[in-house]
Amino acid sequence: MQFANRESRINKKEMKKHNGMRPQDIVILLKIASWKDQPWFGKDLAISLNISPSEVSESLNRSAFAGLLSSDKKKLMKKSLLEFLEHGFKYIFPQLPGPIVRGMPTAHSAPPLNRLIQSQELFVWPDALSELRGQAIEPLHPGVVKAAKADEEFYELISLIDSLRIGRAREQSLAIEELKKRI
């Protein structure tokens, strides 16, 4: 019954195009979450994330189909997003730390988890302009570092989900708690 309701909200053309979620879909959803309940437009997302307007539009369609956005693509389905992040995200977008590089802190090396976890390991998104050095974590989308530098709330959200990708059980549990507070 629930699938029938979702199917009725989405036309057949959009259903044929859906080939699963992509990394930029999560980036876009977290950007929407960082804006809280402020109204937004696709062009705002495109500019702030350095993602083309057509990619944003396709992403919003995929997210609506998946039930992570309302059918009108204007309301974040917070419970569904949190459920996906907690139970499925790390399996769909896994990551292993890479070589030591200059970069911007992420995962438990970045706020807010760096205030809760003391660790010798430093994880970073590669960024030649940064002074810190740590193990490389590939961001979900190339525009993440620039967007995170411009928006602290978004930076915390996107860093928290990296803890889900690479963290141990404790880091993942703390990240979920923090995501629930923020989304």
Contacts of 88 (CB under 8 A, 6+ apart): none
CA dist., res. 167 & res. 86, Å (int): 13
pLDDT at 14: 47
pLDDT at 83: 98
Longest pairwise C-alpha distance within the chain: 53
Mind listing the pLDDT tens digit for each residue in 107-131?
Answer: 999 999 999 998 889 999 999 999 9
State the CB neighbour count (10 A cutoff) for residue 3. 8
Mean pLDDT of 65-71: 96
pLDDT at 16: 47
3-state secondary structure at position 58: helix
Reply yes or no on whether the pLDDT at 82 is more than 90.
yes
Domain spans of the chain, in order of start:
2-92, 100-182
- DSSP character at residue 99: S
Residue 20 φ then ψ, to 5°:
100, 165
Contacts of 41 (CB under 8 A, 6+ apart): none
3-state secondary structure at position 143: coil
Structure tokens at 33: 């979450």
HSE on the CB side for 11, CA within 13 Å? 3
- The pTM (predicted TM-score) of the whole model is 0.88
Q: Is residue 1 very low, low, confident or very high in pLDDT (cuts 50, 70, 90)?
A: very low
